[in-house]
Structure 1
Amino acid sequence: MGKGSSSEMSEGVVKKILISYAYVGIWIFLSFTVIVYNKYILDKKMFNWPFPISLTMIHMGFCSSLAFILVRVLKLVEPVSMSRELYISSVVPIGALYSLSLWFSNSAYIYLSVSFIQMLKALMPVAVYSIGVLFKKETFKTETMANMLSISFGVAIAAYGEAKFDTWGVILQLAAVAFEATRLVLIQILLTSKGITLNPITSLYYVAPCCLVFLFVPWVVVEFPVLRDTSSFHFDWAIFGTNSFCAFALNLAVFLLVGKTSALTMNVAGVVKDWLLIAFSWSVIRDTVTPINLVGYGVAFLGVCYYNAVKLKALKAKEGQKKPPPEDEEAGKLLDERDGERVPGKTDSQD
């Protein structure tokens, strides 16, 4: 029996590990695909359709429509009970920040290489921590801030070594990081603190239409006049349809990865994805990656790894506090046994 149960337990552990790796692999593949696909569409040397607001609106329109069908028509996902006041005070600000983050992030692909954008994205922990401290969701610690500075220093070295540095592209990507970090902090403040959790389907159901509305105004001013005068362009349903479907599938992959593993696993997987994208950008797209780029990103990479390790340690400590230590349990048993010796006639049923 012992050998059989041990074998079954080991098989169960192996199965869980394999499933976790499968979720990680799916998320990396889809994230990788969406990034490269967006670069292909927006880059002037490739598909040559440099309209990031329009591309983001296509994504949001597709995702909101599909989410509506899943929630309201097929009823595969239950909507969250949400009042109009809560929607305006919580979802609308998050939707506005999300639209700006996607707009600026997609715009950066017109000016910067895929590899350099991934290096700049290493600043995300710095932005999240700094904004968390500003909104009093994080406690300021000198050690953590020193780590954040080391990450920033590494990214600065990578930027210094960038062969095709573009100031406007860097500004756009840094703005995208700042807006995304603010959005993540506001989700904790405006939704999580009120006991509201949104999976990717319900998140898109509520947030995507909001993004669509916010993006409409700059689209009318910036891109619509150019698109109206570009008579040679014909909408490629295959390209934009598959691109939008990949963006929707990526949201589902995020839900599976975080739901079945943890957000920390996603952060670690993100580091692996970044290195793969840098290698792909250098070997396939033929973007220039200099030794200074790699040294700078290596410094930032070590800082991010240390940040994730500290987070993991804090998470384990928090989980450990929920369970009584084995020593306390043994002490409790010994105390019960001694009490039983002092009180004749006491049985287990009387404990």
Structure 2
Amino acid sequence: MAISEEKSKAMWLQIAVTYGYVTLWIGLSSTVIMYNKWVLSFSGFPYPVALTLWHMVFCSFLATVIVKLGYVEPIGMSRETYLRAIVPIGFLYAGTLWLGNAAYLYLSVSFIQMLKALMPVAVFGVGCIFGTEAYSPATLANMLVVSLGVAIASWGEINFVLVGVALQMLSIATESTRLTLVQILLQRRGLKLNPITTLYYLAPACAAFLLVPFALIEAPKMLADAELVIAPAIMISNAAAAFGLNMAVFLLIGKTSALTMNIGGVVKDWLLIALSWALFHSPVTAVNLGGYALAFAAVCWYNVQKLNAMRAAAEKTAPSSESTDEELASLMKDGKTRSPSVKRPAGTSAEHKRSPST
């Protein structure tokens, strides 16, 4: 009896800790997204490249200090691995953050969240090209339903701006390609990166790529902008929030799984739509919500099917097998305490999360 009570307490403790991580991530992710929108659209600093570059410089500095002080050990990475694995991912990550933040200048947060429902479609398409996803007519049909739902939501958008939609679509394209390359270049090389070492290696590469559009596009405009507002407290707190979000993303995945993160993603999407409407008075029409609901339902169905397939694969693998994937292990742990109706990461196992700074 005592053993049963102890197991019950341990289970509820695990559930409490898991949802504590989920709540932390939802809070930080929503804060960064809304904060970025406010900085770019309302604070007098309409420069997405500069803001994203500042985030990466700030994260690089903090990660380097932590590593150099000996709190975190860097992994042994050769020059060849860095150039072939980290640099391409850094390039795509820079594109994702820049383009995603630039979209906030034209579109509402709520509409951007609706457009992000296309991420599984993009990951599926890129994955089929690179061989990380298996093509099937049923999956293609599901992706078409997702696309139809987003198209309906776009049709009902009052403040539809083509430039903003194009920027967000490009951001989705770079992010889906990045996720696929993470799976191919990092996971297959067996690199184990924690939150600090990820930023230690990735953020400088990302910042280097952002320097080019900053120097060519935004720096001249900023120098000539007499109305430019740079508030140190706002910029530091905004970058600190982005750094905290990066930590929360990897903490959530490391302590639970990427699948658990995407359960929180379901709540976060609807929360951001509501916050955008309440704080920024972004109009949300019935057609918007109807189209997004259709896309959302199709994504959830796809994720449930994918989750069932992962569980079936995990059941065929002995728990003691050295080849058992860490994400599948987390999945089996999650499956003991959570409902199977979850939103699974479209693409990689441990990397698919939403873009930290967007």
- TM-superposed CA distance for 1:188, in Å, is 0.9
Q: Which of 289, 302, 318 is matched with 2:284 structurally? A: 289
Secondary structure at the residue paired with 1:322?
coil
Q: Is the 8 A contact 1:67 1:204 kept in 2?
A: yes
Report deviation, 1:234. Answer: 4.6
Pair 1:239 & 2:237 matched: no
Q: Which stretch has the larger CA shift, 195-204 or 164-173?
A: 195-204
Identity of aligned residues (%): 52
Cα displacement string for residues 299-342 of structure 1 (whole angstroms, at most 9, x for unaligned residues): 01101111221122122112211249xxxxxxxxxxxxxxxxxx
2:4 paired residue number: 6
Letter in structure 1 aligned against 2:235: F
**Does the CA-based 8 Å contact 2:45-2:230 persist in structure 1?**
no
> Which of 201, 211, 235 is the aligned partner of 2:206?
211
User: Is the 1:264–1:308 Cα contact (8 Å) retained in structure 2?
Assistant: no
Corresponding position of 1:59 = 55
Partner in structure 2 of residue 32 of structure 1: 30
**Per-residue CA distance 1:112-135 (angstroms, 9 max, x = gap):** 000000000111111111100000
d(CA) in 2 for partners of 1:181, 1:197? 21
AA of the residue aligned to 2:51:
L
Q: Compared with structure 1, are the counterparts of its residues 203 and 300 closer, same or farther at alpha carbon in structure 2 (3 Å cutoff)? A: same
Matches within 5 A, 1:230-269: 230-269=225-264
Query: Separation in 2 of the partners of 1:261 and 1:305?
Result: 20
Larger relative helix fraction? 1
Deviation of 1:232 after TM superposition, in Å, equals 4.3
Distance 2:80 2:153 in 1: 45
CA distances 1:127-152 after superposition (whole Å, capped 9, x unpaired): 11110000011110111111111111
Map of 1:95 onto structure 2 = 90
Residue 166 of structure 2: aligned partner:
171
Aligned residue for 1:191, secondary structure, equals: helix
Partner of 2:39: 41
**2: CA distance, partners of 1:268 / 1:310:** 15
Are the aligned partners of 1:267 and 1:308 in contact in 2 as well (CA < 8 Å)?
Answer: no
**Preserved contact between residue 45 and residue 229 of structure 2 (Cα < 8 Å):** no
Q: Is the 8 A contact 1:268 1:308 kept in 2?
A: no
Give yes or no for contact 1:23–1:256 (8 Å, CA) kept in 2. yes
* One-letter identity of the residue aligned with 2:40: L
Question: For the pair shown, which has the larger CA radius of gyration, 1 or 2?
Answer: 1
TM-score when normalising by structure 1:
0.89
* Structure 2 contact 157–284 (Cα < 8 Å) conserved: yes
Query: Deviation at 1:197?
Result: 2.5
Alpha-carbon distance in 2 for matches of 1:257, 1:90: 24
Aligned-pair distance for 1:84? Answer: 0.7
Of residues 182, 185, 193, the one that matches 1:190 is 185
Distance (whole Å) between structure 2 residues aligned to residue 235 and residue 49 of structure 1: 7
For the aligned residue pairs, the C-alpha RMSD in angstroms reads 1.1
What residue is the counterpart of 1:17 in the other structure? 15
Q: How many residues align?
A: 319
Q: Retained in 1: the 8 A contact 2:87–2:205? A: yes
Deviation of the 1:231 alpha carbon: 4.0
| 2:188 aligned counterpart, secondary structure | helix
Deviations 1:175-232 (A, max 9, x none): 0001001000001111111111222211111111111111111111111111112244
Task: Tell me, in whole angstroms, the C-alpha distance in 2 between the residues paired with 1:80 and 1:142.
Answer: 42
**Which blocks of at least 5 consecutive residues in structure 2 are unaligned?**
320-358
Instruction: Check whether the contact 1:42–1:49 (CA below 8 A) recurs between aligned residues.
Output: yes
The 2-side partners of 1:300 and 1:233 are apart by 39
Q: Take 2:279 and 2:51, find their aligned partners in 1: how far apart are those partners?
A: 24
Runs of 4+ in 1 over 4 A off after TM superposition: none
